[in-house]
Every structure is written in structure tokens, then in C-alpha cells.
Structure 1
Amino acid sequence: MASISTQSLDFTVTHRGNSYPVSLCPDATVDQLQSTLEELTSVPRANQKLLYKGKKSALREGDALAAAGFKTGLKVQMLGSTAEELGEMKQVEGEHQRRERIMKERALKPQAKVRSTASPSSSAALQFRFHEIVPLPHLPSPESARALLARLASDPAIVHVMQQHRFAVGTLTELAPHEQPHLLGLNVNAGQAIKLRLRTDAYDGFRTYKEVRRVLCHELTHNVWGDHDNNFKELNSQLNREVAGFERSAAEGAHQLRSSTGAYEPLEADAHMGHVLGGSSTGAAQDSREERRRRMLEATMSRLRREEEELEQSCGTAGPAADQQS
């Protein structure tokens, strides 16, 4: 009769920067391993995703560890959120959805003080947009990824830019950090799909909203220009100016569209609301305010140019023509 080895399997499981040594019998099952990991990390078994070298297929609860490719010295990475974190995410998503609903309602309401050289029609709003949002279901918390993608798609500044430049994108989805670690964004076939890196490298959260939105503006520019040439840089800078100008004007209140740049600016009536009771505003005070705005805009654009140079190194979209992107 053949003897059964009783030597244990000793390997390490990492989760969000923490390492957990695990020692189990070779005939222990995946179910037993997941129960052990749940005790160590508080990540429910249903939320656990194990990545390791030599993995050939999806793990089943009844599989023996040795048969599933586990061996002594193996390094395993576990992805997954705790039950408590999932509850917090749902609360945050609910708040984001509430805010998005309010912003959409405000965007649809006619503004009495708004003067614009262009008013997007309802047909344009239906055509020039993201037609589908697709998070990656095999990554942790796809519902959180969907909420972030939906927030980007409904961002009033992004909606304005897409309608202003007649951009249409088939699918807005995400890039998995472990699948394409060198990329932050990718435009497929001039707008057939845009893929964005939403998550941190360690899968322990999401990148900041403004970082992801800046990458989105970059990839939207690839709807027109394939290579990172001067044409691309000029249009991309314009999109960033329009997004910044739209948000600045929204924060200040009433706004109008400047035909030269496509950016929203305050109405002239609002620009002269610096009067003091019993007196009048001075030219020096007005110049000072305009000078401050000019310096702030120059500083913002300088920062965006530096960030854009870095972003070009992490963009997977390039080609002699937009229709050759892949």
C-alpha cells in the first residue's frame, strides 16, 4: 500500500500589503483554505480571489490544495473586500448616486442667467455620450467600479465636452492593473471603447476621481488624433481648459460660453459685483482680481502640461491615424 505524505504545505498569502503564513495538509481542500483566510483577513469566502503561479483553472471548494497547484514556498495574492468595507462602499455609492441625480436634474433645468452660443439638442445628448458602461466582473467590488464609471459618464463637464466636440464612445470600461500594469488608459478604434485604470496597483482601493478624469480627457482626444503629436496636444489642452473652465464657472454661478476657447466664463454682470455700499469699485481692485485669475489659470495649465507628459508614457493608444488605434 502506497504511503500518503503527511508533510504540510507551507506557503504565504498576501492581502493589501500584509503577509499571512499558511500551513495545511496537502489533502486539505480549497474550502478549508478559504475558511482559514476568512479568519485571518475578515474577507468572506465569496469575496476571495486567489492569484498564484501555476493556477490552471477556477478553484472549486472541494479541490485538494495539492491538486490545485499549491506547494510549499508558493506565494499567493488574495483580492477581496471585507464585509464591513462592502457595507461602507454601498453607503458611498448611494451618496454618489444621490449627488449625480441632483447634478443631472440641475443640468437639465434651464438656467435663467445662462447665455450660450450653442444649446445641445436632445438628439445630440443621446448621440454624443458613452453608450455602455462595463466594469470588469472578475475584479473586486465591480459595483464600486460601475459607480465610478457612471460618475465619469454623467460628469457635467465631460458631458459638455463630448457634446461640444461631438464625441461618441461605444463602451466605457476599466483596465485591470495586473493585466496591463504599464497602462493608465486605452482608446480602441477611435471611440469604439475607452478603457481606464480605476484601481490602485494593490487592488486596495480606487485612484482619485480627478486623476481618472484627466486620463479620460486624454483618451477622448484619441477619438480624433492617434499619435501624441502637436495636433493631439493642442486638442487635449483645449479639453482640459474646457473642463476646468466649466467647473470654475459652475462654482461661481451664472456663466456664458466664450466662442474663442469653448470654455465657460462668468457673465459680465457678475464680474462687477464688487461694489461697497456708499462707494464704488476701483479699476485697481478689478485688475487685481483678473490678475489673480490669470495667474491661477497659468499655474493650472502648467501643471496639466506636466501631468500630460507623464500620462503619454502610460497611454496604450498610438498610431498614424485614429482608425488604426488598438
Structure 2
Amino acid sequence: MASGNSLNLTVAHRGQSYSLSLLPDETLATLQARLEELTSIPPHFQKLLYKGKSPRAQDQQMTLAQAGLKDGMKVQMLGTTTKEVDGLSSIEAERQKRNRILRERASKAPVKVRSTGTANSSSLNYRFHELIPLSHLPNPESARALLQRLSDDPAIAHIMQKHEFSVGILTELAPHEHPQLLGLNVNAGQQIKLRLRTDRYDGFRTYREVRRVLCHELTHNVHGDHDNNFKELNSRLNREVAEYERAVSAGTHSLSEYDGSMYEPSASLEAEARGHALSGVASLSLDSVEDRRMKMLAAAEARLRKEEEELEDSCGTAGPSAVDKTS
């Protein structure tokens, strides 16, 4: 089929590359049918990412030219085979059976048993599809372990499911290659790169620091610039991570939709805020409990805003420190 007018595409999926040649007036449905032959992934389970675009299910009859595909373009495909989905369905059936048994036991026992809820097939798509440490850097096994911990983090999995985030590759940034950056999101989730290591390569940055950068970069799946929309969603993600962990700690294991209440920082932040408030207000004991709480939260949130501003300066996805997104 290759000719002077054909589109030669390279489609990457789970570490494999597939070369395809199609005509510009062929449809996305034709491309997806070819990909199904190569990967066994049905079209309705396929997600294509290229140059910041991701066609929707209703775009299948759009031509490749209309969809913005060009000769020589590289495409990242995310997706799950029918066999994998069937396997998850089997696991889900067993999970439901176990939960049913737990509910029956709970109805007869004096102690209430809480369930963590049920999964669904979307959990296979809304996740990090590949974890790739940099093999040329020291101790890549530890880097992979840190990436795996981020991928398995229940709070991160919670916000990815809730907001339907899908990331092709989660990998790392080498400090000597981009010393000014802590994170980079390539093509709205095709890749997310995080600074895992210290500048001197003598260890790794703290887990909570790296996870906070990850929340920042996940926000770039939706918003490219650090505008008010970005700040609102980024704050919400951090809030939902904290709420989820508080719920798990309290034993509820489930969260309702965010109700708009103010973000309550961790105990350490509250303690820090309390110290600032006590040092500046001699008559604090006369304030109400709610007044003291609001002052502590205001101080803690001011610190978080300052940290977020510093993080924006070290994010390569948008702003003055942007780097080549194709690297």
C-alpha cells in the first residue's frame, strides 16, 4: 500500500513498535482494525495518543487526515486485550463473592465490617501502563521500586480512577540532563517524567516530595498551562489524596464526592501553623476553637501555595522552564 501519498505511522504499545502504512482518506476505524490484528486489542479498548491529541470513540469514521495524523508520526497506544478484561471480570466475580460473604458475616456479627468497594474494567485503562527507570543511572532497581510504589499507591490509584487519568509511561528525569526540572508531562499523559534522585546521585528524594510532583504532572493531562484552571484541579488532586489517606486511616476505606469544604492539611502542617499563630497572638486562648482552626489552616495553606509556586518553576510542561516535549 505504501506510495508517495501514504501515511507511514509508527505505533508503540507496551515496548513494541508497529509500522503501518495507510492512505490519508482511510478512517480511524481502519487504523484501529489493523491494530487489533497486531495486538488483539479491540478498538473500543484502544486509546491513541499523538501530539497532544486523543481521538474519541465517536471519531472512528473520521479520516486519518482529519484526525491530524501525518506521515512519519509516532503514536502511543494504550489498551487492554479482551483476555485481560475477561481475567479481571473473573477476579471481580471472586471479589463480589468474597464481599457477599463478608456482608453476610457482618449481619450476624456485633462488629461492622467495612468494604473497600469494587473495581471495574476501567482500572486497566486508568493507570500507568509502563514503568521505565533509566538503566544508565546507578541502581535502576531502586528507581523501579520507587516508580512501582507510586503506581501502586492507593491514593494515586484513587484519583486516577476518579478523574480517568491514563499515562503511557512513568519514568524518571536524570538530574544532570535537566537540572532545573522536577517533573515533565509529555503530550498530555503519553509520558510523565519525575526527578527521583538527589542532585549528587547519592540517594533518592523523599517519597512524599516525588508524589506531590506526580500530582502536579497528572494535572497537566488536562491543563497545559499553569493557569487558574490548572491550580484549581491541582489543589483538588492533592486534597483528594489527603482525604483518601485520612479515610483509610480512620477505617472507612471509601470517600464520597468532594463537597467543597476547605482542605485540612496533615498533622505536621497543622502543628507548624499552630506554632506561627501562637508566636504572633498573645490572646489566642480567647479565640474560639473554630477561629484557631481557621488561622492554622490559613498558615498551612499559605505554605502549600508557596511550595506549589516553587514546583511550577521546576516543571518542564509549561512556563519559562519548558523543554523540548519530544525528548
Q: TM-score, normalization: structure 2?
A: 0.52
Q: Determine whether 1:303 maps to 2:291.
A: no
Contact 2:183 2:214 in 1 (8 A): yes
Match of 1:257, SS state, is: coil
Task: Map 1:104-115; keep pairs closer than 5 Å.
Answer: none
Aligned to 1:232: 230
Unmatched 5+ stretches in structure 2: 1-94, 104-111, 265-287
Q: How many correspondences in the alignment?
A: 192
> Aligned partners of 1:292, 1:124: CA distance in 2, in Å?
43
Q: Name 2:312's counterpart in structure 1.
A: 312
Q: Report the Cα offset of residue 121 of structure 1.
A: 3.9
* Structure 1 length-normalised TM: 0.52
Find the partner of 2:246 among 245, 248, 266: 248
Q: Which runs of 5+ in 1 are unaligned?
A: 1-104, 266-286
- Measure how far apart 1:224 and its partner are: 0.3
- Mean alpha-carbon deviation: is it higher for 293-302 or for 125-134? 293-302
1:156 aligned to 2:154? Answer: yes
Match among 133, 136, 139 for residue 138 of structure 1: 136
> How far off is 1:294 after superposition?
5.5
Q: Quick check: 1:174 aligned with 2:172?
A: yes
SS for the counterpart of 2:185 is strand
2-structure distance, mates of 1:301, 1:123: 37
Cα separation, 2, equivalents of 1:264 and 1:128: 25
Shift of 1:300: 4.0
Which digits, 9 at most, give the CA deviation of each residue in 1:118-168, with x for residues without a partner? x66421211100000000001000000000000011111100010110000
Could you tell me how far apart the structure 2 residues matched to 1:291 and 1:252 are?
A: 25
1:325/1:203 CA distance change after superposition, 3 Å: closer
Partners of 1:226 and 1:318 within 8 A in 2? yes
Find the counterpart in structure 2 of residue 122 from structure 1: 120
Letter in 2 for 1:234: E
* Cα deviations by residue, 1:229-248 (Å, 9 ceiling, x for unpaired): 11111110111111111112
Q: CA 1:171–1:253 in 2, change beyond 3 Å: closer, same or farther?
A: same
Alignment of 1:273-288 (within 5 A): 288=289
- Which amino acid letter does the alignment assign opposite residue 260 of structure 1? D
Residue by residue over 1:30-80, the C-alpha shift from the partner in whole angstroms, topping out at 9 and shown as x without a partner, is xxxxxxxxxxxxxxxxxxxxxxxxxxxxxxxxxxxxxxxxxxxxxxxxxxx
3-state DSSP of counterpart to 2:198: coil
Larger radius of gyration: 1
Indicate the SS of the match to 2:305.
helix
Q: Report if aligned partners of 2:128, 2:170 keep a CA contact under 8 Å in 1.
A: yes
* C-alpha contact 2:239 2:263 (8 A) present in aligned 1: no
CA distance in 2, matches of 1:295, 1:252: 25
State the shift of 1:302 in Å.
Answer: 2.8
Instruction: Measure the CA separation in 2 of the matches of 1:292 and 1:250.
Output: 26
How much is the aligned-residue C-alpha RMSD, in angstroms? 3.3
Which residue in 2 is equivalent to 1:260? 259
Q: Residue 191 of structure 1 aligns with which residue? A: 189
Write out per-residue CA displacement over residues 76-123 of structure 1, whole angstroms, 9 at most, x where no aligned residue: xxxxxxxxxxxxxxxxxxxxxxxxxxxxx9xx988966599xx66421
- Is the 8 Å Cα contact of residues 126 and 165 (structure 2) preserved in structure 1? yes
Deviation (angstroms), 1:260 = 2.3
Native 8 Å contact 2:133 2:172 kept in 1: yes
Aligned partners of 1:318 and 1:325 also within 8 Å: no
Shift of 1:252: 2.0
Cα pair 1:238 1:261 within 8 Å, conserved: no
Alignment of 1:5-44 (within 5 A): none
